[in-house]
Amino acid sequence: MLRAIWPGESADVRELIVQSESTDAVHEQPVRPTPEQIQAAYRIDKSLATPEPRIVSIVDDLLTTGAHFRAASSVLAAHFPAVQIIGLFLARRVPDEESLL
């Protein structure tokens, strides 16, 4: 989808973060994982880490609590400390208090 939005040579689209283990969908878990718990399963795909990006956009379909964005941002910032990180989300869901527990 991103390559279709930014066609041509100017688009630098890379899947820099790899999830090392499969997990159940967050909305199906009895307790939402913390950003730190999510981050533990993330790593940088070093085969795609060069050249170092100037800006990284984290693109996700849905923003609920921001836990996945914070986890991904932390992993990226640790590997690329000088890089600006931004988020692009296609939809926003505001959870009720009970679903945050």
Residues 6+ apart with CB under 8 A from 82: none
Tens digit of pLDDT per residue, the chain (101 long)?
Answer: 776 776 666 778 899 999 988 887 777 788 888 999 999 999 999 999 999 998 999 988 888 888 999 999 999 999 999 999 999 988 877 766 655 55
SS3 39: helix
Structure token digits, residue 38: 């999510």
Question: Model pTM greater than 0.85?
Answer: no
d(C-alpha 71, C-alpha 50), whole Å? 21
